[in-house]
Structure 1
Amino acid sequence: MLPVLLRLTFTSLWTQLLLYAVAVGVVASVAVNGWRGTLGPVDPKSGKEAPASSQDKLLRAVGFAGVGGFLAYFGLKYALPADAFPGGRGEGIPLHTYGVLLATGFVTAVAVAGRLAQDEWRRVTHVEGQGWVDTEGPKRREQVMDMAFWVLVGGLVGSRLLFVLVNWRDYADDWTQAFSLGGGLVFYGGLIGAGLAAFLFARRHGLDFLRLADVCIPTVSLGQCLGRLGCFSAGCCWGDMAGSHSATGVTFPGSRLALDLFGQPGGASSLAYGSQAGDSRFVVEATGEVLHHAAPGAVRISDWVVQHGTTLPVYPTQLFESVGQLVLFVALLYARRYRRFHGHIFALWLMAYAVLRTSVELFRGDLERGTLHGLLESLGAHGLAGAVPLEAWYNVSTSQFISLCMFTFGAVLLARHRPAGEGAALGSTPSAA
């Protein structure tokens, strides 16, 4: 695994000027995309879209540039030293494998969703002087591309908010830390935040949300397939103890052994290593059995990992889910041709992913993700927490509880919207409006 691919530093004048030029170029590109993507008013009688006014284009470009400039400011402040940028921290730009794969997954998912939207709303009409032209599909594709920005914002806010709620005791003394760059993100929080942003966008632009969800939800699995590979590279979301004799067990390195893309010390340990280095429990190395007290043949987890420089063998749950998400993506694309109503694919995804996530959670070992035991402890119910051991099967995680709710919602959606006796699949007429 490679937690950090490489670290870019900006200590010389020419590298600092280059970074400033890149920041200006990015902000300008964002503004241009905002200008070009402005949609004009739609005539309610003809249904045709009129060209956008220069004022609307300018306002949209300025708004996009403002957001890009805001992000560029914090990026420059983090990367440049104080003598090159006021208040600069001089941390450089570390290219984390997790971030690269997460961004790649998001961009790939958006691109595929845009193509699926164009096919979903395809309407071929004859236009004088142009011949037969798809007048609806490209417009819907552009709308999905526009929606991606708000989905990204909603996803980041939601994932951070759920992380803070799960770990609220860490922020109880100083809630301003919830807005710091440190800390983690939670997929389910991001899913809820992104879903809310997509719902509001659909309402704003007159789109059928369930139809839009059918188009976009399979691509969530595609993005998450790559995102979980990023989790594996960072050593987060790790599995439970697998035992030294397990064929599926993997180890994650500490800072002394973690290397970058060029084989040099990366200076960053895996999150799994940091967690196990502070774990005072005991483990039977051969079997992976975790104990809360010393016993013959058991070693303290923290002592073992510090001595060896890596974690004990754990299940690669990140890879389990990555493979499952890829299978889910392919299966739902195939199922689109057999859907019976708008929301059918969305309901199937809710149920299928809930089962996948709950199954993977059975092998997870990162207690930081939030469990029933941890919740009871945080509420001061130590007696009840003692009745729910950390390793008990009924010590459900926050994600398992959300999965149960999600599966129920998907089942209700499937039951309420299934038309009786309908024979034709919606997917057989992609050219319909």
Structure 2
Amino acid sequence: MSDRLPGFSTLAVHAGAQPDPTTGARATPIYQTTSFVFNDADHAASLFGLQAFGNIYTRIGNPTNAVLEERVAALEGGTAALAVASGHAAQVVVLQQLLQPGDEFIAARKLYGGSINQFTHAFKSFGWNVVWADPDDIASFERAVTPRTKAIFIESIANPSGSITDIEAISTVARKAGVPLIVDNTLASPYLIRPIDHGADIVVHSLTKFLGGHGNSLGGIIVDAGTFDWSTGGKYPMLSEPRPEYHGIRLQETFGNFAFAIACRVLGLRDLGPALSPFNAFMILTGIETLPLRMQKHCDNAKAVAEYLAGHPAVASVSYAGLASDKYNQLARKYAPKGAGAVFTFSLKGGYDAGVSLVSKLQLFSHLANVGDTRSLVIHPASTTHSQLDDAAKIKSGAGPDVVRLSIGIEDKEDLIADLEQALGA
């Protein structure tokens, strides 16, 4: 191949993969094994001491997973990546490297309901404290910074509202505070937005969604941008201080611009254990090969459906950044010029009861708690994904009582509109 840098579609098919050296298999094999044979005692010792790269045990790494990690890192423009069992697992592993008991991180209020619950409740048992900020008010992130702040967490496209976050503006706040910016890029995928290009230091995904794309495999991934200096100020001892379990190695000093990905693997994944199945890695790799084709179809369909809903008499409002009238349209043009994503919400004039009724009347849309499938999906967040919040918190997160969330698939848009028409008419 020439010296030119491969394009996105080429990377989606080829990054990280070579024909299998033993069999010549062109598709990445599923290395369905728990463990790997060492060459000799010295080889084993060097692997366990982080003096050589290689395979030890599938909880820590696996060749199938390694192809997935390299591919997503290439698509996101990062230096390295780590695949784990789910998007939630990715968030736990990331923050374990950054936070000590009593520390804080700032998070945008507009987040997936499961993340709000995880941050608010589950993380309390670790002594990690979340401070909420409004992504529509950048100054609220600045006001939230304290000496205990260790990270800022946002979504590039917020779930469920589909609103676009001003990544560069919040990155400026993170730089000033001397903390890394973590961006959940699940709803955008790197096809639409590459957060590292806009100042993100760490990117996380639920691979379950658009990257896998077929609703058949759970997974999560962490991408290291290689942009943050973990040794500054002693804020991040997991990376800057000698690690007793590895004979005093300082990860930042030893591994440089991919030290964070290494820390997540050898301090997080190794000890917490949320390993990704090699079979799931294989399924997700297969999905990624068609990511550019699927995402463009998702976005084109979503815009058509949003335009239809915006003109329907039963609909009070539509929140889709791809509409010219939407408050986030300028941010969508800046960050996601190829399309504003496939997930958005709309409000019904009939309120809560109308939302619950609508999801039961749709026939082509599947009523379930997922997004990013080839199939079109629907849910009423206030009664499901965000039901643990009070009404005020639901509204702040974009999941008010009258809101319905759609994840638009790759079917014919005319059929999707016809299904909505019959359900709204009923």
Q: Please tell me the TM-score bracket, short chain as reference.
A: under 0.3
Structure having the higher strand fraction is 2
TM-score (norm 2): 0.27
